[in-house]
């Protein structure tokens, strides 16, 4: 790719996009590309980044150093503190990429780096919004509002998964969801030439001067207390959104047919689930679960090796949509001990839709 212009400030690309759009896939593509840059990636959880163990040169707390010079760092509490820690390193990064969570407000993130005292150290290069071409039109309510906000502030729109929609639907999306300031790049599997997204200098801070930030809250475990408290404090729905999250973990093996059955029983207000699974049908390798909108995908991934097999699944839904007890019963029903013994998997990818009729 063409060289990034050298400035005293380290350029920052902010990657945003609604849950499941393909942000992590794009980050994996960047980390594994031959770009010759010392890139630092700030993520909420680098456990989802597919880093080949052979590439890891060292691990320092919440930082992973790769042999190609790239750095992965988790955002614990303070985004700005994490960025400044990177700048204090002897091998200071030449480029920083920040992955926003799927329900975060990119304006707030951009404004963090726009403080006058930081301009000589950090400079926002662009805001890049990844969009799921297949699922975008299915979003409603506060989810649709947040996705629209993320698109409206984009300098570059990565219209991902275009292979899953017809040319007519794609043309309609581009007409109805595009903004004049943004360049649209159509992709599958978030594969895009890096010279189109890094060092492009498209960010214009002026358009954020009067733009309010969105007050977004994510509550764990669907706590009724948290939901009531959030409702009392945030009574202006235009700029306040509440999301619920729930997680489930077990050391027992799961049954893939049972996972398929449970996925069909998830409420439509739960629009994202992901995790690592220990399947009886694939005892030696990890299974990756992805639920995005009405699409469910299970991919057989790396070998467990010396690692003790486990299952960890996170579910994210709209306010009031997470019933912890119901979800626990659903996922407990996927345990091998509650099912008939299944055959081993032949294919490495299983994919279906939540709206398909149940198999009896």
What HEC string does the chain produce? Answer: CCCCCCCCCEEEEEEECCCCCCHHHHHHHHHHCCCCCCEEEEECCHHHCCCCHHHEEEEECCEEEECCCCEEEECCCCHHHHHHHHHCCCCCCCEEEEECCCCCCHHHHHHHCCCHHHCCCEEEEEEEEEEECCCHHHCCHHHHHHHHHHHHCCCEEEEECHHHCCHHHHHHHHHHCCCCCCEEEECCCCCCCHHHCCCCCCCCHHHHCCCCCCEEEEEECCCHHHHHHHHHHCCCCCCEEEEEEEEEEECCCECHHHHHHHHHHCCCCEEEEEEEECECCCCCEEEEEEEECCEEEEEEEEECCCCCCCEEEEEEEECCCCCHHHHHHHHHCCEHHHCCCCCCCCCCEEEEECCCCCCC
Average pLDDT over residues 47-54: 52
Return mean pLDDT, the chain. 75
What is the model's pLDDT at position 205?
62
**Residue 4 belongs to some domain of the structure:** no
Are residues 145 and 31 part of one domain?
A: yes
Instruction: Check residues 156 and 359 and name the one with the higher pLDDT.
Output: 156
Name the pTM for this structure: 0.67
Would you say residue 360 lies in a domain? no
Write the CATH number for 293: 3.30.1220.10
343 and 276 together in one domain = yes
Domain membership of residue 76 as a residue range: 10-208
Residue 226 placed within a domain:
yes
pLDDT value of position 163: 92
Last residue of a domain, one of 152, 175, 208: 208
In a domain, 262, yes or no: yes
Asked whether residue 348 falls in the same domain as residue 255, the answer is yes
pLDDT band at residue 161 under the 50/70/90 scheme: very high
pLDDT band at 43 (very low <50, low <70, confident <90, very high): confident
Q: Average pLDDT in the 332-353 region?
A: 68
Question: Does one domain contain both 234 and 129?
Answer: no
pLDDT of residue 240: 37
Question: Which band of pLDDT confidence, cut at 50, 70 and 90, is reported for residue 52?
Answer: low
| pLDDT value of position 62 | 67
């Amino acid at each position: 790719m063409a060289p990034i212009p050298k400035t005293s400030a380290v350029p920052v690309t902010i990657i945003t996009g609604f849950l499941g759009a393909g942000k992590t896939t794009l980050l994996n593509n960047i980390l594994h590309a031959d770009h010759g840059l010392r890139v630092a990636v700030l993520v909420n959880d680098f456990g989802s980044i597919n880093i080949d163990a052979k590439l890891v040169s060292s691990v320092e707390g919440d930082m992973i150093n790769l042999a190609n010079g790239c750095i992965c760092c988790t955002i614990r509490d303070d985004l700005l503190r994490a960025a400044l820690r990177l700048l204090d390193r002897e091998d200071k990064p030449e480029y920083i990429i920040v992955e926003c969570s799927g329900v975060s407000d990119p304006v707030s993130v951009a404004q963090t780096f726009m403080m006058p005292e930081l301009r000589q150290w950090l400079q926002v290069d662009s805001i890049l919004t990844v969009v799921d071409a297949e699922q975008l039109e299915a979003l409603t309510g506060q989810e649709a509002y947040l996705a629209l906000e993320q698109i409206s502030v984009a300098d570059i729109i990565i219209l991902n998964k275009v292979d899953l929609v017809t040319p007519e639907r794609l043309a309609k999306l581009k007409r109805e969801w595009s903004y004049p300031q943004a360049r649209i790049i159509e992709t599958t599997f978030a594969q895009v030439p890096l010279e189109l997204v890094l060092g492009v200098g498209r960010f214009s801070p002026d358009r954020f001067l009067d733009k309010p930030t969105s007050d977004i809250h994510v509550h764990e475990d669907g706590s009724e207390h948290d939901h009531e408290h959030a409702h009392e404090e945030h009574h202006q729905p235009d700029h306040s959104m509440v999301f619920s999250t729930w997680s489930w973990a077990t050391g027992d093996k799961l049954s893939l047919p049972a996972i398929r059955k449970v996925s069909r029983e998830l409420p439509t207000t739960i629009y994202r689930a992901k995790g690592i699974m220990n399947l009886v049908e694939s005892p030696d390798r990890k299974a990756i679960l992805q639920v995005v909108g009405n699409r469910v995908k299970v991919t057989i991934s790396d070998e467990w090796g010396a690692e003790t097999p486990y299952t960890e699944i996170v579910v994210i839904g709209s306010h009031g949509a997470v019933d912890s007890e119901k979800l626990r019963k659903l996922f407990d029903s996927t345990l091998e001990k509650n099912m008939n013994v299944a055959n081993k998997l032949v294919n490495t990818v299983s994919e279906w839709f939540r709206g398909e009729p149940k198999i009896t």
